[in-house]
A and B are shown apart, each in its own frame.
Chain A
Amino acid sequence: MINYHPDQHLLSLHAKGELPLSMSIAISAHAEFCAHCQQQLDQMTLALSEQQFEQNQTIQPASIEQHGQLDDLLNQFLNNTLDSLDTEVKTKPQSSLVADNSVTIKGQQYMLPRVFKQQITSGWQGIGKVSRLRLDTGEPQARASLLHIAANGEIPDHTHKGSELTLLLAGEFSDCYNTYKPGDFMLLDQNHEHSPKTTEGCLCYTIVDAPLYFTKGISKLLNPIGDLLY
């Protein structure tokens, strides 16, 4: 039974596609564990698509110029693009059928949720019982990693400059608040201090040091001045 879930705000930003990659991965992976959140996401997506495509009043009237561009694009599709797309599909060699979607650490293999399939590009680093595999999300504001803690390992007391997201993927761990199970999604801010420990070992997905970053839509961050604020 999963006890910790992303809140409605995060879910709705995710359905709109407005969260950064690191956080989108976390929500999507959580939803692979959690039928309840997946269902909410499906409903939100349905509502958004109706709002976008089935209610005419929300659409701003396109300018004459845009109409012209759309007409040109359609003509291009009909005269040319559609046929060449079909040829491309036929001739394109299909590459390997399934990506290896697992990681191995200290002799233990873990299957990862589907969303990680293109994300594991580097190796493990670490000392003692704690190992980290950095994901290259290209986001200067956040560091996303897989974190493995071997059996009977523990992370010393720590707090965070920004927020810390932990999604438990396998195994269990506990801190002074609770014991967590795979699928549990914990977002802690800098006021929380904790020292997670695990008896059987665990694999987590974490994002750290991201003050304010997670909960704002990406399109708001598009403004270049947004970056200077961090």
Chain B
Amino acid sequence: MLHRDLLDMSEKMENIQSQSSQTRYDKGNLSLRSSNQRSGAMNSDEPNPLTDELAQLMMLVANNRCKTSFAKLFSHFAPKINSFGVQRLSQQGLAMDLVQETMSRVWTKAHLYNADKAAVSTWVFTIMRNQCFDMLRKVQHNREDAFGDDIWPLFESDDAENNDDDFLLSASLLQHVEELPPLQRQVVQGIYMQELTQQELADKLNIPIGTVKSRLRLGLEKLKSFMEKHYD
């Protein structure tokens, strides 16, 4: 059981890795997979050319910081976000703020978008709804807080089955993560809780990626032994 949990952890690590290196660039594969996956959820058998086009634009923004692609995404989404904002916030000025906030996050969080998990529309909708929730709190209760992303997590798996497990697993694991030596803890937390790629984490901590890998390995091995000691 616990072995399986830790195996899951390592698998997740592999996923993050491959996502950053290979899959992201493999557009043909990605759009094929995303339309397959979506057709189940949408009850629509036809591939949606718009969906694939949006996913490609996101990929260009994420990988190449391509402003032309951003402009295309903006032209597609901004008027619709604006009309959502007018409906929900009842003020043109606030609606324009919602467009700005939402599109800013599309730009800064683009690297976290995963076409296998959701269509671009769904991802942007989530960002927009969360921002709008926080803006409504500000208007209604004069509260400057940002809880939208806690309520509807943006960057985690939409995979419903994992949800229960994640929470229950993290309940026991988190305690053990706290007990790791600081350097290992930092890496384990960066990869699993902040969901950074190994490269991103290496850049952030200003250490070689090899060091990230070895600290992560040590940390995971230690966690595994904590769990075994504690539960066997």
Contact = CB atoms under 8 A, between A and B. Distances in A.
The finding on whether chains A and B are genuine partners in a shared complex, rather than unrelated, reads yes
Interface of A: 16-17, 21, 24-25, 28, 31-36, 38-39, 42-43, 45-46, 48-50, 52-54, 59-60, 62, 66-67, 69-70, 73-74, 77-78, 81-82, 85-86, 88-89, 94, 97-98, 101-102, 111, 113-119, 138-139, 218-219, 221-222
Contacts of A48: 125
A46 B42 contact: yes
Nearest to B186: A97
B151 A49 contact: no
B195 to A, nearest CB: 11
A33 B193 CA distance: 19
Given A52-B80, A66-B82, A70-B78, A38 B163 contact: yes
Contacts of B96: 69-70, 73
B167 A113 contact: yes
Contact of B126 (A31, A45, A70, A219): A45
B147 interface: yes
15 contacts: A17-B133, A17-B152, A24-B133, A32-B166, A59-B80, A60-B86, A70-B79, A73-B99, A85-B107, A101-B174, A115-B150, A117-B150, A118-B150, A218-B140, A219-B136
Contacts of A28: 150-152
Given A33-B167, A74-B74, A85-B104, A39 B160 contact: yes
Contacts of A119: 147
Contacts of B145: 118, 138
Nearest to B171: A111
**Interface-centre pick from B41, B86, B108, B167 (highest chain A CB count, 10 A):** B167
B199 interface: no
Contact of A85 (B78, B108, B126): B108
B78 A25 contact: no
B85 to A, nearest CB: 11
B55 interface: no
Nearest to B78: A70
A20 to B, nearest CB: 9
A150 to B, nearest CB: 20
B50 A54 contact: yes
B136 A218 contact: yes
Contacts of A35: 160-161, 163-164
Contacts of A138: 137, 141-143, 145
Contacts of A67: 79
Interface stretch (B9-17, B22-30, B116-124, B209-217): B116-124
A124 B151 CA distance: 23
A63 B107 CA distance: 26
Contact of B204 (A45, A49, A62, A94): A94
Contact of B164 (A34, A42, A73): A34
Contacts of B33: none
A98 B158 contact: no
A52 B104 CA distance: 19
B48 to A, nearest CB: 8
B189 interface: yes
A82 B160 contact: no
Contact of A53 (B118, B121, B167, B204): B121
A85 B88 CA distance: 27
Contact of A49 (B87, B90, B121): B121
A17 B75 contact: no
B140 A50 contact: no
B83 interface: yes
Given A59-B79, A85-B108, A98-B174, A31 B190 contact: no
Contacts of A38: 160, 163
Interface in B123-137: 124-126, 129-130, 132-133, 136-137
B186 to A, nearest CB: 7
B83 A60 contact: yes
